[in-house]
Amino acid sequence: IEAGYTPSPSIDTVAKIAKALNAKIDELVR
């Protein structure tokens, strides 16, 4: 994946996935 070839939607999707992973990790830690 080239840095110049990443549109905003892709970054937004990555952010959503990151938040979902953080939420799951929080549940596992608790």
Q: Which pTM value belongs to this model?
A: 0.55
End-to-end Cα, the chain, rounded Å: 35
The pLDDT of residue 7 = 64
pLDDT band at 27 (very low <50, low <70, confident <90, very high): very high
Cα torsion 6, 10, 16, 20: sign? negative
Provide the domain count of the chain.
Answer: 1
pLDDT tens-digit readout, 5-26:
656 678 888 899 999 999 999 9
Domain containing 4 equals 1-30
